[in-house]
Amino acid sequence: MSTISIFGLGYVGAVCTACFAKKGHTVIGMDVSEGKVAQVRRGESPIVEDQLGELLSEGVASGRITATTNAQQAVADSQVSFVCVGTPSDESGFLNTRYLKAVCEDIGLALRNKDEVHLVVIRSTVLPGLVRGELLPILEEASGKKAGVDFLLAVNPEFLRESTAIYDFFNPPMTVVGGMNEEASDALAALYEGLDAPLVKMALEEAELVKYACNSWHATKVSFANEIGNIAKQAGVDGRRVMEVVCMDNKLNLSSYYMKPGFAYGGSCLPKDVRALNAWCAKVSLPSPLLASLSSSNDNQVDRAMTMIRESGMKKVGMLGLSFKPGTDDLRESPLVSLAARLVAEGYQLAIYDSNVSYATQHSPVAEQLWSSYGELFKCLVDDMDQLVDDSEVVVVGHAISTFKAVADTVNSGRLLIDLCGYLPGVSSADRQGICW
């Protein structure tokens, strides 16, 4: 077991103090507030939270929990320091990091006089890039030491809900460990041994963003359910019953199926139904700002792809895929059709490979109607995928199928690959760019 110092005895810090002690660690709570420190020393909770007072009292009685206002001593007597201070909004809505930076400076100064390698864990909620870009330099300057060598640095976002925080600590959906290096990740992961939850190791910036992605998704769900409820009431039905049925579907509605960054949605259902519901809201003068934003957000993905092609400065473009998704010839409201049409309109030399669409142009019972609607794009269709790649300066992968993945894996250097499906193993480079990665 480790000795852990926890900086900040507010909501997150007090809960972590109690729960790490319950797991058998020795915990030193540190706060500038003498009042909070005195409460914790007495085994009292500084906040209202179910079971927290009992766990703090138990930890103090066993000697596993102490508290201090002395930052130097807290670091000196521990192997790990968790930073749990608040990051409130400033007047512009951005993070106020004044307390966070002050704590990191205090920890850094304490590390200056410490020979052992110490693990510093940022548990406060911070935007991506802040730890590496702002906190790491403060720690290095104050300590006179090198991160990753003389001390370890990690990010460990919390997923604690007020009123159920103790349960959430011991039963998390996952434990996210963002280490500056493997040694930091392993040291942090060891503190959570025994918890029945997936442990995910990530880069610092990925771990920072996970917390914001989760909270923004929760906020989106609340707003979505409220807007559907408002629509339901306007229509004279019970929105609670509607959403109960929506939540019964764990194959699509409550699943990972649609939760993958990528290109825009399309097809015969989603665009049409979103428009219809927004039109109905407008007709009855019912504001639904979240639903109203969906179409413009979707269009933005097509804009992003178009911008990526423009910025390449190249004119020969090959597209792999045209229908709205793989395994169909359906072109209705396909975002790939929108992208292709814009490329043609702007004078790009466009070639398209989509075997399903090519078949439909000749054999569909509505082939004549298809030609009437999409004739300019059908003229760009080719039958040889390899030749398309050879002739193109920019290759756009638009369908998630194995043959196109092979192209993404092996496309010759000198060509720009634009991946709309998620095939690239990492983030973008000069000649391999992802729409969202």
Q: Is 325 annotated as a binding residue?
A: yes
Q: Is 283 annotated as a binding residue?
A: no
Q: Tell me if residue 203 falls in helix, strand or coil.
A: coil
Q: Is 161 annotated as a binding residue?
A: yes
Q: Is 260 annotated as a binding residue?
A: yes
376 Cβ partners below 8 Å, 6+ apart? 341, 344
Select from 357, 303, 301, 300 the least CA-distant residue to 326: 357
Q: Is 212 annotated as a binding residue?
A: no
Select from 252, 403, 379, 246 the least CA-distant residue to 320: 403
Q: Is 125 annotated as a binding residue?
A: yes
Q: Is 359 annotated as a binding residue?
A: no
Q: Is 192 annotated as a binding residue?
A: no
Question: Token digits for 244?
Answer: 């109960």
Q: Is 175 annotated as a binding residue?
A: no
Q: Is 211 annotated as a binding residue?
A: yes
Q: Residues of 240-257 as b/e, b for ≥16 C-beta within 10 angstroms?
A: eebbeeeeeeeeeeeeee
Q: Is 162 annotated as a binding residue?
A: yes
Q: Is 87 annotated as a binding residue?
A: yes
Q: Is 332 annotated as a binding residue?
A: yes
Contact 123, 16 (CB under 8 A): yes
Tell me the Ramachandran region of residue 321: left when phi exceeds 0, alpha when psi lies from -120 to 50, beta otherwise.
left
Q: Determine which one of 247, 269, 281, 380 is catalytic.
A: 269
Q: Is 23 annotated as a binding residue?
A: no
Q: Is 164 annotated as a binding residue?
A: no
- Judge whether 269 counts as a catalytic residue: yes
Distance separating alpha carbons of residues 287 and 272, to the nearest angstrom = 19
Question: Would you give the distance in Å from CA 8 to the centre of its chain?
Answer: 26
Measured distance between the N- and C-terminal CA atoms of the chain, rounded to whole angstroms: 39
Contact 415, 392 (CB under 8 A): yes
Question: Token digits for 90?
Answer: 């400033």
At which residue do the structure tokens 């864990």 appear? 121
Catalytic sites, residue numbers: 269
In the annotated binding site for NAD(+), the residues are 31, 36, 87, 125, 162, 272, 332
In the annotated binding site, the residues are 31, 36, 87, 125, 159-162, 211, 258-262, 266, 272, 325, 332
In the annotated binding site for substrate, the residues are 159-162, 211, 258-262, 266, 325
